[in-house]
Amino acid sequence: MAQLVDGAGKLGWVLLKSVLRFVFMFFNNCVAIPSYCLYLLLLQPLRIWDSSTFWHIEGVMFKWLLAMVSSWGWIAGYTVTEWGDDVRPISEEEAMVIVNHQSTGDVCTLMMCLQDKGTVVRKMMWLMDHVFKYTNFGLVSLIHGDFFIRQGKAHRDKQLIYLKDHLDKYYHSRDRKWIVLFPEGGFLRKRRETSQLFAKKNSLPHLTHVTLPRLGATHVILKTLCAPLENGSVGSDAGTSNQTGNKRRGLQWVIDMTIAYPKAKPMDIQTWIFGYRPPTVTHVHYRMYPIKEVPLEAEALTDWLYQRFVEKEELLTHFYDKGSFPPPEGQKQAVSRLMTLDPVWLCLVQSFAFASGYIWFNVLQYFYCCLF
């Protein structure tokens, strides 16, 4: 009987905590997202007069919004430990980031672990499923200039044309530096069986923890944002010019990020919102490749991309067996780094959001009363 009462008490506490977290996040969205939109609406004259300053301010506010999402997991004890290469020294250089995709929580994990990487978050562009456009954060991503891609063979060719046009129009003009995509094209649980059947049919590696990536978006990004060399690889010496005439070096790196969850149990967005899972450490492994090592020709790029996901499979197999990622070549032990967020900074960002919401509510109420 005592155990039953104790269990009921714990369940009640979890439910109460989940309700309180949901209420807080609901109001957090209600004040932060409209405030972001209204601030940018107010700054439209600045966009015409000095677009670079406008997009700088927009990027700062975008980073604050992502920090709010990160804080939801942070206060629940959901943290990130990083392995492999340290990407902070290249945070000001242009890079394409490829990530394995297991659940909706992957995006939240990226929002958190990239917060301490300089200007990366405010200067990054996301490629995400078109369904995300219709979520509460979809309007923010639409304003920021992220690309919503529609999956399926019927849309594939048109979507790649739209992607190239989108990159030409927005990537340089808004001073983007990092572009993030999930080459698998969907969640692991949804694509694994199809991927394994395709691999068996075409004598490709059998993968369990990841799926075979799709080439399309990766190929378009490289062809659009890099200068091709005669040997079929991509380079950066030639550089590219943005709409204002400033010289850019183009993509300098491909960053291969591998996300691993304890016991191979992915964390989804519902967990971040309600916080019903005990404190959890998500592990992220980085591996950097200079862009000159990446082939541009479609067949060679396909082989190169497949090899990256075979390596991801090996990394994840080692992690699930040993509890850590393998050490880099030539080293005896892998070194991890605990990614931390400043709680004072998170409190200031949240306070600014709620203060902004209060101010805008009063401003709109005043104009409503004047008109009606």
Widest distance between CA atoms in the chain: 77
Give the per-residue pLDDT at 89: 94
Rg (CA), the chain: 22
Taking the C-alpha atoms of residue 12 and residue 9, their distance in angstroms, rounded to an integer, is 5
At residue 130, the pLDDT reads: 81
Residue 260, domain extent: 28-230+249-325+336-371
Query: How far apart are alpha carbons 72 and 75 in whole angstroms?
Result: 6
Does residue 270 belong to any structural domain of this protein? Answer: yes
Q: Classify residue 9: in a domain, yes or no.
A: no
As given in the structure block, the two tokens for residue 205 are: 């590696």
Confirm whether 193 is domain-assigned.
yes
- The angle formed by the CA atoms of residues 137, 74 and 59, to the nearest 5 degrees, is 40
User: 119 by DSSP, 3-state: which?
Assistant: coil
Lookup: tokens for 336: 């991890």
Q: Which candidate, 301, 300, 329, places its Cα nearest to that of 314?
A: 329
In angstroms, rounded to a whole number, what is the distance separating the alpha carbons of residues 259 and 200? 25
φ/ψ bin of 29: left (φ > 0), alpha (ψ from -120 to 50), beta (otherwise) = alpha
Number of domains in the chain: 1
Asked whether residue 14 is assigned to any structural domain, the reply reads no
Eight-state DSSP code of residue 294: S
Residue-level pLDDT at 2: 57
Q: Hey, what are 261's tokens?
A: 């969850």
DSSP H or E stretch at residue 317: helix 298-322
State residue 238's pLDDT score: 44
Q: Give every CB contact of residue 193 below 8 A, 6+ residues apart in sequence.
A: none
The pLDDT value given to residue 243: 44
Check if the beta carbon of residue 83 is closer than 8 Å to that of residue 34: no
Q: Is residue 344 part of a domain?
A: yes
| pLDDT value, residue 246 | 53
Q: Is 6 within the bounds of a domain?
A: no
Q: Which residues of the chain have pLDDT under 50?
A: 230-233, 236-239, 241-245
As a whole number of angstroms, the distance between CA 79 and CA 340 comes to: 8
Instruction: Dump pLDDT digits (tens) for 294-351.
Output: 999 999 999 999 999 999 999 999 999 999 999 887 777 888 999 989 999 999 999 9
Instruction: Quote the CA–CA distance of 280 and 283 in Å, as a whole number.
Output: 10
Crossing angle of helices 343-371 and 2-42, rounded to 10°: 60
Cβ atoms 73, 317 nearer than 8 A: no
Q: Rounded to two decimals, what is the model's pTM?
A: 0.89
Q: What was the pLDDT predicted at 301?
A: 94
Burial class (CB in 10 A: 0-12, 13-18, 19+), 125: buried
Inside any domain, residue 5 = no
What would the two tokens of residue 317 be?
Answer: 């197999």
Query: The domain spanning residue 295 has which CATH number?
Result: 3.40.1130
How far is 123 from 91, CA to CA, in rounded Å?
Answer: 10
Does the residue 211 lie in any domain? yes
**Residue 77: count of CB within 10 angstroms of its CB:** 12
